[in-house]
């Protein structure tokens, strides 16, 4: 850090002068009025001064380092666009992974940006405040670098064109949307456990590996570059997440049960959110890195468990849901892809059946389940395709009230039985995909009854195109809902085979590789 001072001060001391010594105990206004959000969650903090700064970055150094990163990143993004780098990706199916990315992830980053801004304002200790502020400004960086890097794909391919509109409306995008809005509507302490710890620290590798290494493996320099460029920010965010949880646990033993409940909830919420990543790894990357199951084993069962072992001295236990996830890992990606393949009329990306070769890869990675349970299903679809009857399901699935994923997961010990839970609350019935989602609901029913479930909203008539008349004789509800989503039938959706993207990519690539 650029701090030349006359007196020899230790780094830690210097940084304290640059940060925490700026604050003071207010007296013209009560501290509780200046920081009104710190008490209601029941977390007890006795001494904010005990906070250990997880990194020591002053603003001048921050501007300097970050600007250097931006300069490099945008140079690569510009060159990649100029040279039509998109024509160098493994195969045009890959681009569909980016459509999911754009319509889901920048909005998550954006919510993280605003959420951390709130913490940067509301946490009473200057040390954690400033650490959160830096994460807040980093997160808008992530949103913007993602949008800017993928902007060029939008110029040439379908499905990207109205990502923000879709993020607020499209059925499957309510899964990431509700996850982050759930976190952002929590108190500051739960928010930072949810995002700073459970998401950034425990699960972030499981997002990073498939998207960023996936991009690298599949020849996508553009997406790879913003991913790698975000890595040094993520390293700071992860140390913040870990520092926060340790600090809270050390401040008061009464914090432990509250924090444990939050960890249980948010690890489960996070893993459910990752279902889509699981399917992306196993089905959407033409060149695969590793299977979802392998990634889960390395990044959660090994690395994640080491972390929980480290936290055991505070009394933190491994969340119960881990047992179920272990059982689900053989099924998750196949069930998810099956759901999206069949819902292919209602997606902003193309779907397809795995090739023979890809199915063999899946068999080798999932020897206990793929051939027995999932290959036959895909072969059946293939038969239908051959007869010109590509299967599309257009009925609206029932959604889990908490994670908002359609009821597509099976019972852990019986893959023929859809897992389904039900609770009656104040006279209304609510449905859940699992015990864990049910428990989350039962702890805070008032919160989760307010969920905006796309399928339910469609049934209630809240998702038709502007000005549509559902009473008209020629009213086509599916078409009207697609219009509400701004999803262009025949261009954004349906099978990859025969799509405009497929044809354009082939033609453009031929043009660019012809001698």
Residues that bind Fe ion (CB under 5 A): 109, 139, 142, 400, 402-403, 433, 437
- Counting contacts by CB under 8 A, is residue 232 touching another protein? no
Our CB check for another protein shows the closer of 107 and 335 to be 107
Considering only residues 275 through 294, tell me which ones interact with another protein, judged by CB under 8 A.
287
For 192, 313, 369, the CA distances from 310, given in Å and listed in that order, are: 19, 7, 34
CB under 8 A: which stretch of 120-128, 266-274, 378-386, 468-476 binds another protein? 120-128
- Counting contacts by CB under 8 A, is residue 511 touching another protein? yes
Q: How far is the CB of 287 from Fe ion (least distance, A)?
A: 25
Q: How far is the CB of 106 from Fe ion (least distance, A)?
A: 10
Site string for another protein, 344-373 (x = CB under 8 A): ------------------------------
Q: Please give the structure tokens belonging to residue 85.
A: 């780098």
Question: How many Cα atoms within 13 Å fall on the side-chain side of residue 205?
Answer: 16
Q: How far is the CB of 373 from another protein (least distance, A)?
A: 32
CB under 8 A: which stretch of 170-178, 246-254, 275-283, 325-333 binds another protein? 170-178
Q: Which of Fe ion, another protein, none does residue 193 bind (CB under 5 to 8 Å by kind)?
A: none
Residues in the chain: 515
Q: Which of another protein, Fe ion, none does residue 433 bind (CB under 5 to 8 Å by kind)?
A: Fe ion
Going by C-alpha positions, the residue among 479, 437, 474, 473 that lies closest to residue 458 is: 479
Helix (H) / strand (E) containing 95? helix 95-122
Considering only residues 446 through 485, tell me which ones interact with another protein, judged by CB under 8 A.
447-448, 450-452, 457
- Counting contacts by CB under 8 A, is residue 163 touching another protein? yes
Q: Which of another protein, Fe ion, none does residue 66 bind (CB under 5 to 8 Å by kind)?
A: another protein
Our CB check for Fe ion shows the closer of 352 and 430 to be 430
Identify each DSSP E strand in 409-481 by its residue range. 410-411, 414-418, 421-425, 428-432
Name which position in 44, 118, 236, 246 contacts another protein (CB under 8 A): 118
DSSP secondary structure letters along 336-401? HHHHHHHTTTS-SS-B-PPPHHHHHHHHHH-TTTIIIIIHHHHHHHHHHHHTT------SPPPB-T
Q: How far is the CB of 451 from another protein (least distance, A)?
A: 6
The rounded distance, in Å, linking the Cα atoms of 154 and 149 is 10
Q: How far is the CB of 48 from Fe ion (least distance, A)?
A: 25
Our CB check for Fe ion shows the closer of 343 and 402 to be 402
Q: How far is the CB of 489 from another protein (least distance, A)?
A: 15
DSSP secondary structure letters along 209-233? IIIIIHHHHTT-HHHHHHHHHHHHH
Q: Which of another protein, Fe ion, none does residue 113 bind (CB under 5 to 8 Å by kind)?
A: another protein
Considering only residues 310 through 329, tell me which ones interact with another protein, judged by CB under 8 A.
none
User: Looking at the DSSP assignment, which residues form a beta bridge with residue 351?
Assistant: 495
Name which position in 51, 92, 95, 113 contacts another protein (CB under 8 A): 113
For residue 292, the SS3 value is: helix
Site string for another protein, 141-160 (x = CB under 8 A): x-xxx-xx--x--xxxxx-x
- Counting contacts by CB under 8 A, is residue 246 touching another protein? no
The rounded distance, in Å, linking the Cα atoms of 129 and 361 is 48
Q: Which of another protein, Fe ion, none does residue 162 bind (CB under 5 to 8 Å by kind)?
A: another protein
Q: How far is the CB of 437 from Fe ion (least distance, A)?
A: 3
Name which position in 168, 442, 469, 497 contacts another protein (CB under 8 A): 168
Q: Please give the structure tokens belonging to residue 284.
A: 């959407």
The rounded distance, in Å, linking the Cα atoms of 260 and 32 is 26
Considering only residues 194 through 223, tell me which ones interact with another protein, judged by CB under 8 A.
219
- Counting contacts by CB under 8 A, is residue 174 touching another protein? yes
Our CB check for Fe ion shows the closer of 74 and 361 to be 74
Our CB check for Fe ion shows the closer of 57 and 437 to be 437
Considering only residues 409 through 448, tell me which ones interact with another protein, judged by CB under 8 A.
447-448
Going by C-alpha positions, the residue among 72, 14, 379 that lies closest to residue 232 is: 72
Q: Please give the structure tokens belonging to residue 251.
A: 């401040």
- Counting contacts by CB under 8 A, is residue 124 touching another protein? no
The rounded distance, in Å, linking the Cα atoms of 294 and 292 is 5
Site string for another protein, 59-78 (x = CB under 8 A): xx-xxx-xxx-xx-xx----
Q: Please give the structure tokens belonging to residue 155.
A: 């110029």
Ramachandran angles phi, psi of 458, nearest 5°:
-65, -45
Q: Please give the structure tokens belonging to residue 277.
A: 């990543």
Our CB check for another protein shows the closer of 182 and 234 to be 182
Considering only residues 17 through 46, tell me which ones interact with another protein, judged by CB under 8 A.
17-18, 21-24, 26-29, 33-34, 37, 40
Q: How many Cβ atoms sit within 10 Å of the Cβ of residue 253?
A: 11
The rounded distance, in Å, linking the Cα atoms of 477 and 458 is 9
Our CB check for another protein shows the closer of 416 and 513 to be 513
Q: What is the DSSP letter of 409?
A: P
DSSP secondary structure letters along 471-495? TSTT--HHHHHHHHHT--TTTTSSB
The Cα diameter of the chain in Å comes to 84
Q: Please give the structure tokens belonging to residue 459.
A: 């049934």
Q: Please give the structure tokens belonging to residue 279.
A: 């399917």
Q: Which of Fe ion, another protein, none does residue 291 bind (CB under 5 to 8 Å by kind)?
A: none
Our CB check for Fe ion shows the closer of 103 and 255 to be 103
């Amino acid at each position: 850090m650029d701090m030349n001072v006359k007196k020899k001060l230790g780094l830690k001391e210097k940084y304290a002068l640059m940060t925490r010594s700026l604050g003071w105990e207010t007296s013209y206004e009560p501290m509780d009025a200046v920081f009104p959000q710190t008490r209601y969650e029941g977390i007890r903090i006795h001494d904010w001064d005990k906070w250990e700064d997880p990194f020591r970055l002053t603003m001048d150094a921050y501007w300097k380092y970050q600007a250097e990163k931006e300069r490099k990143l945008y140079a690569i993004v510009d060159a990649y666009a100029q040279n039509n780098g998109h024509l160098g990706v493994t195969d045009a199916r890959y681009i569909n992974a980016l459509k999911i990315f754009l319509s889901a992830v920048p909005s998550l980053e954006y919510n993280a940006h605003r959420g951390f801004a709130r913490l940067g304002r509301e946490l009473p200790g200057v040390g954690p405040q400033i650490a959160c502020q830096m994460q807040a400004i980093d997160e808008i960086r992530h949103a913007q670098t993602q949008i800017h890097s993928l902007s060029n794909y939008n110029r040439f391919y379908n499905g990207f064109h109205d990502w923000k509109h879709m993020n607020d409306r499209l059925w499957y995008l309510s899964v990431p949307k509700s996850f982050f809005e759930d976190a952002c509507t929590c108190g500051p302490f739960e928010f930072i456990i949810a995002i700073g710890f459970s998401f950034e620290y425990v699960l972030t590798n499981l997002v990073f590996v498939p998207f960023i290494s996936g991009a690298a493996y599949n020849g996508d320099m553009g997406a790879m570059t913003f991913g790698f460029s975000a890595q040094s920010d993520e390293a700071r965010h992860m140390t913040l997440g870990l520092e926060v949880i340790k600090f809270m646990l050390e401040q008061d033993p009464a914090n432990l049960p509250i924090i444990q409940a939050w960890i249980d909830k948010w690890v489960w919420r996070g893993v459910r959110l990752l279902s889509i990543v699981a399917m992306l790894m196993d089905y959407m990357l033409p060149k695969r890195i590793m299977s979802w199951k392998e990634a889960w084993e390395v990044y959660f069962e090994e690395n994640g468990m080491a972390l929980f072992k480290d936290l055991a001295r505070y009394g933190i236990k491994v969340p119960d849901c881990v047992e179920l996830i272990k059982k689900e890992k053989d099924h998750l990606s196949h069930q998810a892809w099956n759901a999206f393949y069949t819902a292919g009329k209602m997606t902003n990306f193309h779907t397809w059946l795995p090739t023979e070769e890809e199915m063999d890869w899946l068999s080798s990675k999932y020897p206990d389940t793929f051939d027995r349970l999932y290959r036959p299903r895909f072969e059946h679809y293939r038969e239908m395709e051959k007869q010109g009857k590509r299967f599309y399901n257009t009925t609206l699935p029932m959604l889990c009230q908490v994670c908002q994923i359609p009821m597509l997961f099976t019972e852990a010990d019986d893959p023929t039985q859809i897992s389904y839970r039900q609770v009656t609350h104040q006279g209304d019935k609510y449905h859940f995909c699992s015990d864990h989602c049910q428990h989350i609901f039962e702890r805070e029913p008032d919160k989760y009854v307010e969920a905006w479930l796309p399928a339910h909203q469609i049934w209630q008539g809240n998702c038709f195109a502007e000005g549509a008349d559902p009473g008209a004789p020629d009213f086509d509800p599916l078409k009207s809902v697609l219009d509400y989503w701004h999803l262009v039938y025949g261009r954004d959706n349906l099978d990859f085979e025969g799509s405009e993207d497929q044809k354009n990519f082939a033609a453009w690539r031929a043009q660019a590789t012809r001698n």
